[in-house]
Amino acid sequence: MASVLVVEDDQFVRSALIRHLTDAAHAVRSVGTALEALREVAHLRFDVVILDLGLPDLDGAEALKMLRGITDVPVIIATARDDEAEIVRLLNAGADDYLTKPFSVEHLSARIAAVLRRARAGGRDAPPETVLRVGGLTVDPLRRQAELDGRRLDLTRREFDLLAFLAARPGVVVPRKELLAEVWQQSYGDDQTIDVHLSWLRRKLGETAARPRYLHTLRGVGVKLEPPAADAPRGPGAEPPR
């Protein structure tokens, strides 16, 4: 059983989701606006949030951004929008999964189960007390905080997971397939997802693909994180800027 928050302003859809999720033995609360959703997650613990994009007070994308500012709870986007660029943007902004309306209850239940498995697996894999240090980079998996040269890094949930996974293996080249399997809990996927998150991480670490300090990509091999060497030349296997 999971604790589920349904954020949906359409009363008919909302009632149907509550009924079916309750029948599936989930504990369900529901709200019709983004601000109500923010209040709920600020005061109660949920295992997953089902977030509609067409909310009356805030666009769901903005609501997602605000949710990510206060919680790491898994978020499944429920949307009638099927634009691929929009979906990619939402996933990169912190959504864990998405469903395009109309969808079946069985499909939703399967997505909830998959998201919860990934979240629980991540919790088991995170070192409970070890603070990771790579050069001037410090990663605290327990508190889900990262600092660079004493400055707190503002990372999304997925950016932190990616950084922590690499920081636990300093100097080791991690294949992209392993990153998809361990960080995204996917057996297959598009390299674009990894590239986008690496690009965002590089920006926050103050580097670029052309002039890497910590994050190094080896074309056709994988990615590694290692302490920066002062004015180190770009390696022959590093990928050009994307």
Q: For residues 202 and 205, give the distance between their C-alpha atoms in angstroms, rounded to a whole number.
A: 5
In the block, which residue shows the tokens 């989701």?
Answer: 17
C-alpha torsion sign, points 99, 102, 108, 110: negative
Please give the Cα distance from 96 to 127 (Å, whole number).
22
Task: Produce one character per residue of 180-204: b if its CB has 16 or more CB atoms within 10 Å, e if not.
Answer: bebbbbeeeeeeebbbbbbebbbee
Q: CB burial class (10 A; 0-12, 13-18, 19+) of residue 3?
A: middle
> Same domain for 143 and 116?
no
111 domain residue, yes or no: yes
pLDDT (tens place) for every residue of the chain, 242 residues total: 789 999 999 999 899 999 989 988 889 999 999 999 999 998 888 989 999 988 999 887 888 888 887 888 899 998 887 777 888 888 888 888 888 888 887 888 888 888 887 776 655 444 444 789 999 999 998 888 999 999 999 988 888 989 999 998 888 898 988 888 888 777 665 667 788 889 999 999 999 989 999 999 888 788 999 988 753 434 434 444 34
**What CATH number does the domain containing 40 carry?**
3.40.50.2300
| Sign of CA pseudo-dihedral 203, 205, 206, 212 | negative
Domain of residue 100: give its range.
3-125
pLDDT digits (tens, 9 = 90+) for 95-141: 888 888 888 878 888 888 888 877 766 554 444 447 899 999 999 98
Domain boundary among the residues 125, 159, 182 is at 125
Give the pLDDT confidence score for residue 234 in this predicted structure.
Answer: 40
**Is residue 143 in a domain?**
yes
54, 165: one domain:
no
Residue 76: predicted pLDDT: 92
- Indicate whether 86 and 157 sit together in one domain: no
Residues 15 and 95 in one domain: yes
| pLDDT confidence of residue 167 | 92
Residue 239 covered by a domain: no
Q: Which amino acid is at 9?
A: D
Is residue 241 one of the residues assigned to a domain? no
pLDDT at 120: 67
What CATH number did the domain enclosing 173 receive? 1.10.10.10
**C-alpha torsion sign, points 67, 119, 227, 201:** negative
Interior/surface letters 27-56, b for 16+ CB within 10 angstroms, e for the rest: ebebbbebebbbebbeeeebbbbbbbbebe
Q: How many structural domains are present in the chain?
A: 2
Specify whether 28 is located in the same domain as 93.
Answer: yes
Q: What is the pLDDT of residue 131?
A: 87
**Are 68 and 138 members of one domain?**
no
User: Is there a single domain that holds both residue 150 and residue 90?
Assistant: no
What is the C-alpha separation between 129 and 35, in angstroms, rounded?
Answer: 35
